[in-house]
Chains A and B, each alone.
Chain A
């Protein structure tokens, strides 16, 4: 295994240091390091971050390999600076058995770009009627700790309570897609002034907030861990802040797109009116929501950023709005979007970015060896990031099989220069190694 000597990287944005990587570990950190025989990487001006961990990724395999595969999705993840991703369960077949989660986990191992941690379904077939074999998935080679019916909400209060209780046996967590189904029948976009003008059925904030409130109360009642997926409203941030103030074991994530984009893009954008590239679930919200989400991420109410990378083939988006699929890809732009929304605005420094995009998501997902500080003895999961670069987003250059990015044509700050997975580069000079 090649040793690497990274020269002059600013760890978490601090003073320049050299980092010596040997045998998959961070061997030494300091000034003027010499590494005999090590490949030298000039990291002048680059920031070193712990490898990013995504709690919410749709890799689409098995079932929709036309949109993404474990291999293409993890290549995209590596290019985005990620060293671990959680593969969501809404595949076909659904990841609701040990067999499916082990298959996904193995595909990740074979591809080798990123640690793939399968998420198990909470209910069999995501149908919301009976629990999937959560224990079997936890005990499988994949070692599942995060369970989610993402895409669907676990609506039944009793089922949700049982799931929260049951996963305590193996330190699991239920990641809830909070969406009251009756309030969102046929919903197309955020319910507000824009949906009213455009004549699109609204997805009201209360449909998210009602479920989050209920689930926080349930988690407190049974003393379990709850994780809230893709928080999108100011009200949700308030509820989670309140739950945390009670000392309840609730964590939450926000997507990069909910930190940057607003629902008025559906009406007017450089990419046209009613462009389904902006169709996503939960929907893009208002400027006030974006500000509240940023503040919540900054003060730690929201624990982490998770991409909700949701690849779709071109034909799923080149349609009228109501016929289009929901979701946007985000792995390859996540760090730049967080840079723009949180760092350039002064809300987070790079140490806090490491916390929200690596340490905390790894802890929530119980991912050993990930989300650790850049210190001697730790696994060498690292990302080198050039904060001075500015790049116009061109989906044609993406490693993802899909092109449904809402940032096309936008110039975003920063660029991932290198990614190391357990000491081995997956990305060098901004390209797959």
Chain B
């Protein structure tokens, strides 16, 4: 009889995450020509935390205050009927809204692309941005939709059966990205 067990391995530690976010912040400032017209919208739960961190860095490096908000995409998911109804996350737009702004969506892991697809739909119902960009801490591949990230913290080659978990200080008490693999023991 074989037994399955989970083997997990940290692929990014705290300092790696800090460095990745710092780099993304610089890239955003560079690509948006000073980040003067952007809104950072994190996808709850961890994307919202990452958006807040990016906002702090952009304020520090770019000397502009980038409005930060969150965009819950639960009601727009295409896989709602595969699981019991889930609790909703918070949608919180900056007071000036997103119209004619460059919205940078922030998520922790980019995988199939379906979350981002849902986010684009959700965005459509709350305003009309000038452009939408995507920042992700980890891109683990296996896209099922024609979606790519503009800013990537780390490209992480994975098997489809593996799981990627992101831990953040504010929520989980530590910073780490962990790859979880199911191994069959003989």
A and B touch in the complex (CB under 8 A): no
A residues lining the B interface (CB < 8 Å):
none
B residues lining the A interface (CB < 8 Å):
none
